[in-house]
Amino acid sequence: MRKSLFARWRSSFFAGLALVLPGVITLAIVKWLFGTISSFTDTLLFFLPYCIAPAKIYQDGISGAMFWYWSLLAVVIAIVLISAVGVLARYYFGKRLIELADNLMLRVPMLNKIYGTIKQVDQAFTSGKKTSFKTVVLVEYPRQGIYSVGFLTSERANEIEYKTNRKCVCVFIPTTPIPTGGFLIVVPEEEVIKLEMSVADGLKYIISFGAISHEYNHNELGK
């Protein structure tokens, strides 16, 4: 029996959707990232209104959001400046300047608390420690019998271990499909199942709603 016109259209639509969706989602993520980053980097072009008419800079002709090409220029300038800081950090004079700026930030009331915390987090993820977001784990969360995929961020929780009298680890549970958000849970070490998949495979698993799964051959275990 031949398919009805509606059935053929539905089949074609879902086939096309499967082909188009990855590209659409990728472009949407890139657009979101560009918009988020440019909201900060646009401030680098603070001098632009003094050189060019606002109507040629801002979308509404007065202020606010810039045209995309100016935002792109601001992102490029930010990349160049960050690279320049990286080059400076290799030399004694640059190291002294960075140390001076660092000490200045840590001496400003209120600001030092925020800056100090962010600096500690940054150092934890860039220090090369094996426990810094480099192990994919499975934990029973939000209740017993239901498992969540997360990332081991630290194997030390000193005060918590002292108060609970149990060896605990910190696990970050990311949200789906954008894993930049999430929440931290502290779990007894014996209740954490470490997985063989890499962080990249773990991220793919989360972003794809579990559709892309790490290939695992249990027969290779122990070889």
CB 45 within 8 A of CB 70: yes
Q: Are 83 and 75 a contacting pair, CB within 8 Å?
A: no
Give a three-class secondary structure readout of 92-134. HHHHHHHHHHHHHHHHCCCHHHHHHHHHHHHHHHHCCCCCCCC
Per the CB < 8 A criterion, the answer to whether 214 and 208 are in contact is no
Please state the separation of Cα 114 from the chain's center in Å. Answer: 19
SS3 label, residue 171: strand
Reported pTM: 0.59
223 residues of the chain, pLDDT tens digit each: 456 788 888 888 888 888 898 888 888 888 888 988 998 999 999 899 888 988 889 988 888 889 989 999 999 999 999 999 889 888 888 888 888 988 888 888 888 888 877 777 676 666 555 445 678 999 999 888 899 999 998 887 788 888 889 899 999 998 887 777 888 999 999 999 999 888 888 888 888 888 777 776 666 444 4
Q: How far apart are CA 139 and CA 65, in angstroms?
A: 43
**Residue 136 is inside which H or E element, if any?**
strand 135-140
The DSSP element (H or E) to which 148 belongs, if any, is strand 147-154
Per domain, the residue ranges of the chain are: 135-215
The whole-angstrom separation of Cα 172 and Cα 17 is 33
Residue 171 bridge partners (DSSP): 152, 185
